[in-house]
Amino acid sequence: MTDYRITNFLSTENKNINKKSLCTFPTPITKLDTISNELGLNLFFKRDDLTGLGIGGNKLRKLEYLLADAISVGATHIITLGGIQSNHCAQTALASKKLGLDCTVIIAGKAPKKEDYSGNLKLYQLLGTNVCIVPDFPDRQPKAEQLISELESKNEKPYLVPVGGLTDIGALGYINAMGELSEQIKSSGQNYDYIVVPTGSGGTLSGIVPGKELFSINSEIIGVAIEPSDEMVPDHVNEFTKIANNALKRISSDIMVNPEDFNIDFNVAYDYAVMRELELSTIKQVAQKEAIFLDPVYTSRAFAGFLNLVKKGKFEIGSSVLFWFTGGAGAIFADKYKF
């Protein structure tokens, strides 16, 4: 049954789905032996830092569907939005280059001199990506609308990928990822009591939650919020539910999810892209014990949130936990994050 659903889900005969292969799948699952022993848990990482294109990362799963959709409507120029060291923007730039599409990233923050670019900004220079830096987050959408008008006046066809790829098309990437995980569970015999997911814009969680139902994965899903609820998508849980259900409709599934299916923990949520001692110490802990590099914005904070839940007794001793490691290594090398 599961094999058929995966094959049918990716079928080119489904007119609601377009997909361009960008990644190397399945991404591996790695057990963190040292930290597992310290916590009394069986802790695993789903290594979406190893998706295979450029520096890897979770957004590439969504971009396989989003950029295929862009190509299907004749788009010539991809536009996306993010923060100054956005991993989403960096992965969009990589994927666009791979598929022969022009790309402009509109990012918010303090603009350094070009000779002082570091981290993901340096990647844009190497890729030849168009970079537009605006002072603050609310300035991004008006700038995108201006750019869209300019491109259309030149007979180009722009395609806007929203922050984090948060659409029902983007969610298909993580519905498919749960099919991949289902196959890994069956082949290895390793089940997971909990799946912990870094949660910012919510695009990843909006695919994982319906994917759990579609592929009958018996794990409790916990999103760990990166930023406070008032900085997320307005009415975020209902928005995630809507996106998830629209994605399920695209693959002709009669399954539906409810707002109650989205369990999001806000205990370590803080201002976006601010690295505190909490994130820094977590990065060092995982690097020094497991030789894996968390990023300063998402995975370090989410893993700190996971450790906070361990301290609160959320996980039974001996239980198996899968932390969905979403990547983001490029931001480690940004000058704004001092180690």
Say if 260 falls within a structural domain. Answer: yes
296's tokens: 């300063």
Q: Which long-range contacts (CB under 8 A, 24 or more apart) does 180-183 make?
A: 180/6, 180/25, 180/26, 180/27, 181/46, 181/211, 181/215, 181/217, 181/322, 182/2, 182/215, 182/216, 182/217, 183/2, 183/6, 183/26
In a domain, 250, yes or no: yes
Do residues 195 and 318 both lie within one domain?
Answer: yes
Q: Let me know whether 273 and 187 are in one domain.
A: yes
pLDDT computed for residue 14 by the predictor: 65
Task: Kindly state whether residues 116 and 181 are assigned to the same domain.
Answer: no
* Pair (186, 318) in one structural domain: yes
State the pairing for strand pair 42-47/29-31.
antiparallel
Question: How many structural domains is the chain composed of?
Answer: 2
Domain identity same for 102 and 191 = no
217/63 Cα distance (integer angstroms): 24
Supply 46's token pair: 């789903």
Task: Please indicate, yes or no, whether residues 192 and 240 belong to a single structural domain of this protein.
Answer: yes
Question: In this structure, are 194 and 249 located in the same domain?
Answer: yes
Domain membership of residue 177 (yes or no) is yes
Query: Which two tokens mark 185?
Result: 């569970």
Active site residues: 86
Q: Are residues 71 and 190 in the same domain?
A: no
- Are 209 and 320 in a shared domain? yes
Task: Answer whether residue 211 is part of any domain.
Answer: yes
Q: Which domain holds residue 104?
A: 59-164
Q: Is the domain of 118 the same as that of 224?
A: no
Q: What is the CATH number of the domain that holds 146?
A: 3.40.50.1100
In tens digits, the chain (339 residues) has pLDDT values of 333 233 344 444 566 689 999 999 999 999 999 999 999 999 999 999 999 999 999 999 999 999 999 999 999 999 999 999 999 999 999 999 999 999 999 999 999 998 899 999 999 999 999 999 999 999 999 999 999 999 999 999 999 999 999 999 999 999 999 999 999 999 999 999 999 999 999 999 999 999 999 999 999 999 999 999 887 777 999 999 999 999 999 999 999 999 999 999 999 999 999 999 999 999 999 999 999 999 999 999 999 999 999 999 999 999 999 999 999 988 999 988 877
Q: Based on the fold, state whether residues 143 and 178 are members of the same structural domain.
A: no
Q: Which of 110, 140, 164 marks a domain boundary? A: 164
Instruction: Clarify whether residues 32 and 82 are in a common domain.
Output: no
Closest CA to 164 of 239, 223, 88, 106: 88
Q: Last residue of some domain: 149, 164, 179? A: 164
Q: Which of 132, 164, 196 is the last residue of a domain?
A: 164
Q: What is the pLDDT of residue 229?
A: 84
Is residue 312, in this structure, part of any structural domain at all? yes
Q: What is the pLDDT of residue 56?
A: 95
- Does residue 109 fall inside a structural domain? yes
